Amino acid sequence: MRVNPLFSFKWFSAGLIWFWLGLFVLVPLLMLLTASFLQRGETEFVKFAFTLENYQRIFNPIYLDVFWNSFYLAAMTTLFCLLLGYPFAFLLARVTGKYKHLLLLFVIIPFWTSSLIRTYAMVIILKTNGVMNSFLQWLGLIQEPIQLLYTPAAVVVGLVYSLLPFMVLPLYATIEKLDIRLIEAAKDLGARNVRIFWSIIIPLTMPGIIAGSMLVFLPALGMFYIPDLLGGAKALLIGNLIQNQFLSARDWPFGAAVSIILVLVMSLLLVLYYFSILRNSNNRDKVGL
Amino acid sequence: MSLKRLSKISYMSLIYGFLYFPILILIIYSFNDSKYSFAWKGFTLNWYHQLFDNQELLEVALNSLMVAVVSASVATLIGTLTAVALYRYHFFGKKVLYGLIYILIMSPEIVMGISLLILFIALSMPLGFWTLLLSHITFCIPFVVITVFGRLSGFNKAIIEAAKDLGASEFATFRLVVLPMLMPAVIAGWLLSFTLSMDDVIISFFVTGPNFQLLPLKIYSMVKLGVKPEINALSTIMFIITLIIVIIAQSLLREKK
Amino acid sequence: MKKLLFMLLFALSTPSFAEEAKELNLYNWAEYLPKAVLDKFTQETGIKVNYATYDTNEVMYAKVKTLRGEGYDLVVPSNYYVSRMIRENMLTKLDLSKLSNFKNLDSKLLNQTYDPNNQFSVPYTWGTTGIGFNSKQIKMGAISKWADLWDIKYKNSLLMLDDMREVMGMGLKVLGYAANDTNEEHLNQAYEKLKELLPNIKMFYAESPKVMFLEGEVKSGMIWNGEAFIANRENADIQYVYPAEGVTLWVDNLVIPQGAKHLENAYKFINFILRPEIGKIIAEEIGYASPNLEVIKLLPKKVTENRIAYPSADDLKNAQLQQDVGDSLVLFEKYWQKLKVAAGKQ
C-alpha cells in the first residue's frame, strides 16, 4: 500500500494547520473586525447595529493624543534600541573564535526571559530608595534621592531594556550575511568610511533594521504592564487603552477598532519590510552577487 | 591592545551589563536577609523557604507547568507537521500559510489576546484552563514551525527521495527518515514553546478565568503590590529555569552544524 | 507518544476533577482579606478558595459581566456598584436565614438606599477616602483640605488612587459640587481643575497605596483610611486627614453574582466572615472599620478609638456617600480618560 488517499499525510498536515490557524487566528480576527463596526451594548458586549462611530472616535483629539503619545514612546524606544543595538550587533557579528557562540547565547537568553520579571527587576533598580539612587548617593553625586521611577523616561528605559534583544537578533542575522568583500571593494575604490556606511552597509542591512524595528515597535505599543509598573499608570499606551476598553470601560467595539488600527500599522510595516527585501535583492543583482 | 579594540570590548560589555545587571541585582537581593531595606543584611534562604511553604503559589505554579507542558507538546506536534508539509509539498495556500506564520510571530500579542477573548465569549466557552491552553498552543505553533523549518532547510532532499524509492510510504518516510534527523529541532521547538507558555502575560491576561490562575499573572498581581523579597526569589527561580532551557535548546540547534 | 497521550488525559481530567471538589471562587479587592482567614475557612470546611483580586469596581464589574456571572461565587462591590448590579439583574437574591451571624451587623449599616432590606448584599467593611501625608516631610496642619494638594510645593510628590470615581469626585468637591454630580459642565470643570493638579501627581495607583507612603515614593495624596491606618501603625509619621470639603464615604459589600455555581459555599463563607473572631482577624489585618458590632467589642480600645479607622461625628462633617450615577458613568469615563491622556503628556 502506498498512500491511503483518504488519509494522506500531506493533506492531514496541511489541513490540521489550516484548521487551527483558521479557527484561532483568522476567525477571531474577523470577529474583531466585525465588532469594530458595531455599537456598544448596554448590558451585552455589543449591539448588532452597524456604525462607523468607533473609527470616528479615534480621530477625536483625546484619542489622537493617545496614539500620538504611544507612537512617540514606541518610536523613541525603537530609536534607542537601534542606536544601541546596531553597533552592538555589528561588533557581535565580527567576533571570531570560540566565544562567539557564548556571546550570542547571552543575547538569546534575555530574548526568551519573561519581560515581566525583567520589568520588575527595573523597578528594583529605579525605586526612590532603590539600587540606582543608593549608588548615586554613595558616590556623592546627589544628596537626596532623585525621581527615576514613575516617569516617561522610566517607561522608555523599561521598554528598551525589555526589547533590545528583539532588535539585536535580526540585525545580527543580516549583518552576519553581509559580504565583507563589498566593503573592501569600496575601500579600494577610494570611498570614505562614512560613505561606505551610508551607501553600502545601511542599505544592505535594511531588512534587518526593519525587521528589528518591527519586533520592537509593535510590542512596545502593546506592553501595557510596563507603563503601569514603571510609569505610575500615567503614560497611556495603545495597549493600555485597548486593555482598558475590554477590562474596565467595557466598550468592546471601540477597543476592537483601536486594535484594528494596530493591525493596520503592522501591515504597513510588513509591506515596507517586503519592499526593502525586494530592493535589497535587486541591489545584490546590480553588484553581481 | 589597541584603543579601537578596547573601545569595542567596552561597548559590548556595557550592553551586556545593561542586559544582565538588573537581573543580577534581583538574584542577589533574593538572598538578602532584609524585608524592607536595600542595604545588604546578610545571606538567607528564608525567602525561598517561604516560597515553598506557600501552598497557593505552588498550586498556581503547577497549573502553569501543566499548561506549558501540554501546550508545548500539542504545538510541537502541529508545528512539526506544518514545517514538514511546508518543506515537502505543494498545496493550496502554501505561500499564504508561510506568510501567515511569520506575521503571527510579529503581530502584537494584545491583538491576539483580545481576538481570542472575543472568540471564546462568542462560543460561550467558560474562561479558564481550556481557553488558556488553546491560546497558548496558538501562539507557540509559529515558533515551532520556524525552528523546525530552519533545520529542514539545511537537509539533503535526496535522502528523502531515496527512502521513497526504496518503497517507504509517506508516513514511514516521515517516521523513519525525517523525524530522526529533525529531532534536535523538534526538542528545541518544544523547549522554546515551553518557556513562551511559562512566561506569557499579555495573552493569558485576557483569556484567564476565575478558577485557574497562571504563575505570570500571579506574579503580576504580586508585583503590583510592591517589591517583596518573595517575588525576588520566585523571579530568580523562573529566570534560572529559562536560562537552563534556552541553553539546552540552543545547543540542540547548534549540534551537527 | 504514549506519554503525551497520558499527559493529555491528565489535563483533560483535571478541570472536571476540580469541579467535584468543594470550591469557592472569591474575587475581592487587593489587600482586603488576610490569607489566614482563607486558610482557616478551608481547614474547617474543606472548601478550597480560589482567590483573585482587583483594584477598582470598574474592573470587577467588567470581569463579572464578561463571565456572565458564571465564574465568581462572591465579589465585593462598593455600595454604588451594588445598586448598579441590582438594577442590571446581576446579583442573586440572598436567603438571609442561611446567615445566622447576620444579626451581628451594625443596624446603621443595614437597610440602606442602595439595597433596601439587604436583599442582595451584606456589608463587609466601610470606610472613607481622605488625604494621607508623611509628617516628616510635610508640616502637621499644612494640609487640611483637598484644595491644599494643588500647592506647587507638592510638585511630583502626590499619589492619586487609580480610581475614576474617587479622583473625579475630589475634583468636583474642590469646586464645591457634590461628588456624585452628573452635570456635564461640572464634570468638565472638574477635569480642568484636575488637569492643574497633574504636575503634582507622581502616580495613579490603587492596589496598595500604603506601600508608596511607607517606601517614601510619595509625600502625600489620596488614600483609603484602612490603608492609612496600617501605614500609621508601621510608621507613625504617616498621618491621615479628613479634608474640610468632606471625605468620601463608602461601604463595600459581599454579593453573590447571578449564575454563581457554588451558592452554598458562598453562604458558608459569608457566615464565616461574620463570626466575631474571624471579623477580628480581618479588622486587625486590613485596618478598615468593621461593620460587625460583636467584632468591635473584641477589638482593643486603642483601635476602636483610633480616628483614622473609626471617625468621630465631627470627622464625617460634609462626608458624602458615593452613589451610582447611572448612565452618566459614560461622562465620568470620558473626562477620566481625558485626564489620563493629559497625564501622559506631562
> Are the beta carbons of A133 and A127 closer than 8 angstroms?
yes
Local confidence band at A56 (pLDDT 50, 70, 90 cut-offs): very high
Chain A and chain C share a number of CB contacts under 8 A equal to: 70
Residue B40 located in a structural domain: no
Local confidence band at A286 (pLDDT 50, 70, 90 cut-offs): low
What is the percentage of chain A residues whose pLDDT exceeds 70?
95
Q: Tell me what ipTM this predicted complex has.
A: 0.90
Local confidence band at C16 (pLDDT 50, 70, 90 cut-offs): very low
CATH of the domain at B96: 1.10.3720.10
Measuring CA to CA, which residue among A113, C115, C290, A13 is closest to residue B245? A113
Does residue C94 carry a pLDDT above 60?
yes
Does residue C70 carry a pLDDT above 90?
no
What's the pLDDT tens digit per position in A145-191? 888 999 889 999 999 999 999 999 999 999 988 888 888 888 888 88
Question: For residue C120, what is its C-alpha cell?
Answer: 442582595
Identity of the residue in C204, C217, C338 whose CB atom sits nearest the CB atom of A234: C204
Q: What is the C-alpha to C-alpha distance for residues C139 and C120, in angstroms, rounded to an integer? A: 45
Tell if the CB–CB gap between B70 and C52 is shorter than 8 Å.
no
Does residue B38 carry a pLDDT above 70?
no
Does residue A243 carry a pLDDT above 50?
yes
What domains sit in chain A, N to C, each tagged with a CATH number? 60-286 (1.10.3720.10)
Measuring CA to CA, which residue among C56, C346, C51 is closest to residue A243? C56
Local confidence band at A6 (pLDDT 50, 70, 90 cut-offs): very low
B64 Cβ neighbours under 8 A, 6+ residues apart: B197, B198, B214, B215, B216
Tell if the CB–CB gap between C345 and A66 is shorter than 8 Å.
no
Q: What is the DSSP letter of A150?
A: S
Written as one string, the DSSP assignment of B225-250 is: T---HHHHHHHHHHHHHHHHHHHHHH
Question: For residue A273, what is its C-alpha cell?
Answer: 519590510
Tell if the CB–CB gap between C71 and B133 is shorter than 8 Å.
no
- What average pLDDT does range C304-324 have in this prediction? 92
Measuring CA to CA, which residue among B193, B235, C174 is closest to residue A118? B235
Tell if the CB–CB gap between B138 and A108 is shorter than 8 Å.
no
Question: For residue C214, what is its C-alpha cell?
Answer: 511607607
Local confidence band at B172 (pLDDT 50, 70, 90 cut-offs): confident
Contacts A150 to C, Cβ<8 Å: 202-203, 217
- What average pLDDT does range A256-280 have in this prediction? 88
Q: Is A250 on the interface with C (CB under 8 A)?
A: yes
Measuring CA to CA, which residue among C126, C132, C109, C79 is closest to residue C242? C132
Most B-contacting residue of C9, C75, C211, C256 (CB-CB within 10 A), to test interface: C211
Most A-contacting residue of C203, C212, C214 (CB-CB within 10 A), to test interface: C203
Indicate the residue type of B139. F
Q: Is A60 on the interface with C (CB under 8 A)?
A: no
Identity of the residue in C4, C27, C212 whose CB atom sits nearest the CB atom of B210: C27
More confident of the two residues A180 and A110: A110
C59 to chain A: nearest residue by CA?
A248
A68 to chain C: nearest residue by CA?
C345
What's the pLDDT tens digit per position in B71-106? 999 999 999 999 999 988 888 788 899 889 988 988
Q: How many angstroms away from the CA of A67 is the closest CA of chain B?
A: 15
Local confidence band at B166 (pLDDT 50, 70, 90 cut-offs): confident
B121 to chain C: nearest residue by CA?
C66
C156 Cβ neighbours under 8 A, 6+ residues apart: A147, C199, C200, C201, C202
> Are the beta carbons of A88 and A165 closer than 8 angstroms?
no
Instruction: Give pLDDT, residue C185.
Output: 97
Same domain? For C191 and C300 the reply is: no
Does residue C42 carry a pLDDT above 50?
yes
Local confidence band at C5 (pLDDT 50, 70, 90 cut-offs): low
Does residue C7 carry a pLDDT above 60?
no
Local confidence band at C20 (pLDDT 50, 70, 90 cut-offs): very low
Instruction: Give pLDDT, residue B67.
Output: 97
Residue B22 located in a structural domain: no
C22 Cβ neighbours under 8 A, 6+ residues apart: C45, C46, C47, C48, C265
Contacts A27 to B, Cβ<8 Å: 119
Q: Which chains, if any, share at least 3 CB pairs under 8 A with chain B?
A: A, C
Say how many CA atoms lie within 13 Å of A228 toward its Cβ.
22
Contacts A80 to B, Cβ<8 Å: none
Q: Which chains, if any, share at least 3 CB pairs under 8 A with chain C?
A: A, B
Q: What is the C-alpha to C-alpha distance for residues C225 and C230, in angstroms, rounded to an integer? A: 9
What is the percentage of chain B residues whose pLDDT exceeds 70?
97
What's the pLDDT tens digit per position in C223-277? 999 999 999 999 999 999 999 999 999 999 999 999 999 999 999 999 999 999 9
Identity of the residue in C35, C50, C55 whose CB atom sits nearest the CB atom of B211: C50
B53 Cβ neighbours under 8 A, 6+ residues apart: none
> Are the beta carbons of C95 and C60 closer than 8 angstroms?
no
Say how many CA atoms lie within 13 Å of B184 toward its Cβ.
14
Does residue C48 carry a pLDDT above 60?
yes
Q: What is the C-alpha to C-alpha distance for residues A11 and B69, in angstroms, rounded to an integer? A: 27
Same domain? For C55 and C178 the reply is: no
Contacts A250 to C, Cβ<8 Å: 61-62, 65
Does residue B175 carry a pLDDT above 90?
no
Same domain? For C207 and C263 the reply is: no
Instruction: Give pLDDT, residue A284.
Output: 59
CATH of the domain at C118: 3.40.190.10
Residue B246 located in a structural domain: yes
Q: What is the C-alpha to C-alpha distance for residues A30 and B241, in angstroms, rounded to an integer? A: 37
Tell if the CB–CB gap between A256 and B91 is shorter than 8 Å.
no
Q: What is the DSSP letter of B126?
A: P
Same domain? For C234 and C137 the reply is: yes
Residues of chain C contacting B, Cβ within 8 Å = 4, 7-8, 10-11, 14-15, 18, 23, 25, 27, 30-31, 35, 50-53, 55, 66-67, 70-72, 207-208, 211-212, 215
Contacts A234 to C, Cβ<8 Å: 201, 203-204, 340, 343-344, 346
Question: For residue A182, what is its C-alpha cell?
Answer: 563589498
Q: Residue window 219-238, chain B: list those with CB within 8 Å of chain A.
A: 219-220, 223-224, 227, 231-232, 235, 238
Same domain? For C196 and C319 the reply is: yes
Same domain? For C91 and C166 the reply is: no
Q: What is the C-alpha to C-alpha distance for residues B12 and A155, in angstroms, rounded to an integer? A: 24
Instruction: Give pLDDT, residue B255.
Output: 67
Strand-pair partners of C250: C127
- Please, is A272 exposed, middle or buried when counting C-beta atoms within 10 Å of its C-beta (0-12, 13-18, 19+)? middle
Residue B10 located in a structural domain: no
Does residue A281 carry a pLDDT above 80?
no
Q: Is A150 on the interface with C (CB under 8 A)?
A: yes
- What average pLDDT does range C38-51 have in this prediction? 94
Chain B and chain C share a number of CB contacts under 8 A equal to: 63
Identity of the residue in C23, C52, C208 whose CB atom sits nearest the CB atom of B225: C208
Contacts B133 to C, Cβ<8 Å: 11
Same domain? For C93 and C172 the reply is: no
- What average pLDDT does range A121-143 have in this prediction? 90
Tell if the CB–CB gap between B78 and A105 is shorter than 8 Å.
no
Are β-strands C74-75 and C122-134 bridged in parallel, bridged antiparallel, or unpaired? unpaired
Chain A and chain B share a number of CB contacts under 8 A equal to: 230
Instruction: Give pLDDT, residue A235.
Output: 77
Measuring CA to CA, which residue among C24, C108, C33 is closest to residue C279? C33
Does residue A209 carry a pLDDT above 60?
yes
Tell if the CB–CB gap between A25 and B114 is shorter than 8 Å.
no
Does residue C14 carry a pLDDT above 80?
no
Tell if the CB–CB gap between B22 and A121 is shorter than 8 Å.
yes
Most A-contacting residue of C211, C341, C346 (CB-CB within 10 A), to test interface: C341
Helices (H), C21-56: 35-45
Identity of the residue in C4, C10, C25 whose CB atom sits nearest the CB atom of B211: C25
Helices (H), C175-308: 184-197, 209-214, 225-234, 263-273, 276-286, 293-298, 301-304
Q: Which of A24-28, A161-165, A247-251, C10-14 has the lowest mean pLDDT?
A: C10-14
More confident of the two residues B243 and A192: B243
Same domain? For C235 and C334 the reply is: yes
Tell if the CB–CB gap between C7 and B209 is shorter than 8 Å.
no
What is the percentage of chain C residues whose pLDDT exceeds 70?
94
Contacts A129 to C, Cβ<8 Å: 215-216
The domain in which residue B235 lies consists of: 54-254
Contacts C346 to A, Cβ<8 Å: 152, 234
Same domain? For C36 and C58 the reply is: yes
More confident of the two residues C212 and A4: C212
C7 to chain B: nearest residue by CA?
B70
Instruction: Give pLDDT, residue A199.
Output: 85
B217 to chain A: nearest residue by CA?
A116
Instruction: Give pLDDT, residue A1.
Output: 44
Residues of chain B contacting C, Cβ within 8 Å = 36, 56, 66, 69-70, 73-74, 77, 117, 121, 126-130, 133, 209-213, 221, 224-226
Residue B45 located in a structural domain: no
Tell if the CB–CB gap between B130 and C50 is shorter than 8 Å.
no
Local confidence band at A20 (pLDDT 50, 70, 90 cut-offs): very high
Q: How many other β-carbons are positioned within 10 Å of the β-carbon of residue A149?
A: 26
- What average pLDDT does range C45-71 have in this prediction? 90
- What average pLDDT does range C277-287 have in this prediction? 95
Domain total of chain B? 1
Same domain? For C194 and C333 the reply is: yes
Instruction: Give pLDDT, residue C175.
Output: 97
Written as one string, the DSSP assignment of C176-204 is: T--TT---HHHHHHHHHHHHHHGGGEEEE
Contacts A127 to C, Cβ<8 Å: 215, 217
Q: What is the C-alpha to C-alpha distance for residues C128 and B34, in angstroms, rounded to an integer? A: 33
Q: Is A171 on the interface with C (CB under 8 A)?
A: no
The domain in which residue C18 lies consists of: 2-124+252-304
Same domain? For C200 and C317 the reply is: yes
Domain total of chain C? 2
C199 Cβ neighbours under 8 A, 6+ residues apart: C152, C155, C156, C346
Same domain? For C322 and C298 the reply is: no
Tell if the CB–CB gap between C208 and B226 is shorter than 8 Å.
yes
Mean pLDDT of chain B: 90
Identity of the residue in C11, C53, C211 whose CB atom sits nearest the CB atom of B226: C211
Instruction: Give pLDDT, residue B256.
Output: 52
Local confidence band at B36 (pLDDT 50, 70, 90 cut-offs): low
Local confidence band at A4 (pLDDT 50, 70, 90 cut-offs): low
Q: What is the C-alpha to C-alpha distance for residues C53 and C258, in angstroms, rounded to an integer? A: 19
